[in-house]
Structures are given as structure tokens and as C-alpha cells.
Amino acid sequence: LLVVRPGAQVEVRRLSPGAFALVCAVDGGETLGRALISAFEAEPDGDPQQIFAALLAAGSFVRPKTAAA
């Protein structure tokens, strides 16, 4: 399951095996390219680009905060 908070509401989404593999790979410090490969390996019938697009649309990724100058 993935819990996201776009705006003020909380959403819980069930992840496919490919989406779970992609999120775990990114969380583990892998590059986006390697994470997409992980998604394909976990879900060969899935489309890694569509999986990534769905995660982006869900608000799964955020821009890191930069240190104050």
C-alpha cells in the first residue's frame, strides 16, 4: 500500500508489484533508470513508464528541500 497526501486529503493506494519495486528502488537510492528496470523485472507484463506516470500523478514524489542560504 502507498499512502500519499496530495493537498489536505490522505489517500491510500494499492501498488502493483512493479510500482512497489520502483518505489523501493528509489527509496533505496537507485537511479530512476535502475528503478524502472526493477519495475519491469517485478512486473514483466506492466509498462514501467505507465507505472512511473501513475506514481507521479498520485503525488508519490516530492522535490527535496534545499538548505537555506
pTM of the predicted model as reported, rounded to 2 decimal places: 0.80
The strand ranges marked E within the chain are 2-4, 11-13
User: What is the pLDDT of the chain when averaged over all its residues?
Assistant: 89
Query: Cell numbers of 3, please?
Result: 499512502
* Residue 69 scores a pLDDT above 60: no
Q: In this model, does residue 23 exceed pLDDT 80?
A: yes
